Amino acid sequence: MSDELSRMSLLWETIQQEEEYPIFRLTYLSKPTEPFTDADFDDIESKSVKANNERDVTGLLVVNEDRILQILEGREEAVRELYNKIEADSRHTVLKLVCAVEDEVRLLLTWNMVVRGLNGTPPDLLDQFSNVFDDLLHAESQSEVAIDHVALFKEIALFGTIPEKV
Ligand SMILES: Cc1cc2nc3c(=O)[nH]c(=O)nc-3n(C[C@H](O)[C@H](O)[C@H](O)COP(=O)(O)O)c2cc1C
């Protein structure tokens, strides 16, 4: 396919995926009750992909030792219902609901992944993540999660999905 054709098909995809309803974006911070094991990750991942798809919810989950950050996007009712379930999960303790806002666009259109094995992630990215996490945690009021933050989380997520070398 020529470059021009690929661009056209990408554009067409975007037009087709224009949202029919306002997007509700919810971001929270939590910490694991016990360090997550591979079995925890497997369980969360296998349940999330199916359940989130069924609800048309996209999002991103970054777990870096004792810092967990999740963003969920979709129809408000679906996101809130899912969040109530996640919040009640005894494997972690929710520290803060950072923000819950309506938007016209999804920032995480094709994202539905659990991030683990951050060993291969450059330390400066992990430091940035820790700083953003701590700033959000200590902010007095609800904070808007900036596009720059989301870009950082996506970058981390992309490293997290690359299998570690054996
Ligand atoms: C940090 C964390 C994030 C989670 N994220 C999701 C998620 O995005 N979607 C989901 O369906 N379950 C997620 N879960 C799992 C849910 O809390 C719950 O175990 C799952 O929805 C199964 O619930 P059920 O068996 O009662 O239906 C998450 C759990 C944790 C600890």
Minimal-distance CA residue to ligand 1 atom 17: 86
Beta strand 112-115 with 58-64 is: parallel
Residue 44 Cα to ligand 1 midpoint, Å, equals 6
44 touches ligand 1 (CB under 6 Å): yes
pTM, two decimal places = 0.84
pLDDT in tens, 96-139: 999 999 988 888 877 777 777 677 788 899 999 999 999 999 98
CA angle in degrees (0–180, nearest 5) for 98-84-101? 35
Within 56-142, residue ranges assigned H as helices are 76-87, 123-138
C-alpha 6/C-alpha 46 separation (Å) is 32
DSSP assigned state of 106: -
Candidate of 34, 55, 71, 89 to mutate for ligand 1, largest count of ligand atoms within 8 Å of Cβ: 89
CA of 3 from ligand 1 middle (Å) equals: 40
Q: Residue 77: pLDDT above 70?
A: yes
Strand order in the sheet with 23-32: 92-103, 23-32, 67-74, 58-64, 112-115
The CA–CA distances, whole Å, from 112 to 6, 30, 67, 99 equal: 24, 19, 19, 19
Structural domain spans, the chain: 18-160
> Residue 141 and residue 90: Cα distance in Å, rounded?
26
Token pair, residue 32, equals: 């694991």
Buried b (16+ CB within 10 A) or exposed e, 54-77: ebebbbbbbbbeebbbbbbbbbee
pLDDT at 163: 46
CATH number of 18-160: 3.30.70.100
Higher pLDDT, 95 or 147: 95
Q: What is the pLDDT of residues 22-45, one digit of tens each?
A: 999 999 999 999 999 989 988 998
Residue of 44, 81, 133 to mutate, ligand 1, most atoms within 8 A of C-beta = 44
pLDDT at 151 over 90: no
